[in-house]
Amino acid sequence: MERASLILVSSVLLLCIGTLCWSFSKKPSQEQTRIDALADASAIDLLKKRAEAGDATAQYELGVIYLFGQGVEKDNVDAYAWLNLSAANGSDDAAWRRDSIVRMLTPQQISDAEKRTEELKKLIAEKQADSE
């Protein structure tokens, strides 16, 4: 009887520990919580304006939003392009994310993303010239 009780207690303890670990693993990361807050359409519009003004942080956040499809249609090409711009503006986090998603893209998508990056660079340059 003692052995059966020990097995039962061990099983219950393992179940509790497993449930506890599962609940902690489901907690959203600080970054995910911040991205969820940015997913509001008006916030995304403001973020786009900042990104188009050359703000590397906004470019990074916009890239992540496109990567996860938070408040916009998920688009790995646009995600890559915004992250690529942010990386070019000095963001190591953007460079890491860009390099991690490139493995998910086809050669055609990479080509499209590089073209999109160039389009965004032109747009940013035009907006900066207009503001001077």
Mean pLDDT of the chain: 82
Instruction: Say if residues 56 and 91 touch (Cβ distance below 8 Å).
Output: yes
Convert the pLDDT of each residue in 23-82 to its tens digit: 445 555 677 766 666 557 778 899 999 999 999 999 999 999 999 998 889 999 999 999
Instruction: Say if residues 79 and 67 touch (Cβ distance below 8 Å).
Output: yes
Q: pTM for the complete prediction?
A: 0.69
The per-residue pLDDT for 92 is: 94
Q: State the Cα–Cα distance between residues 124 and 128, nearest whole angstrom.
A: 6
Is residue 105 pLDDT above 70, yes or no? yes
Instruction: Say if residues 74 and 39 touch (Cβ distance below 8 Å).
Output: no
Interacting residues of 70 by C-beta distance below 8 A, sequence separation 6+ = 35, 36, 38, 39, 64
The per-residue pLDDT for 71 is: 84
Confidence band, pLDDT 50/70/90 cuts, at residue 4: low
Is residue 108 pLDDT above 80, yes or no? yes
Percent of the chain with pLDDT over 70: 72
Q: List the one residue out of 23, 25, 70, 27 whose CA is nearest residue 47.
A: 70
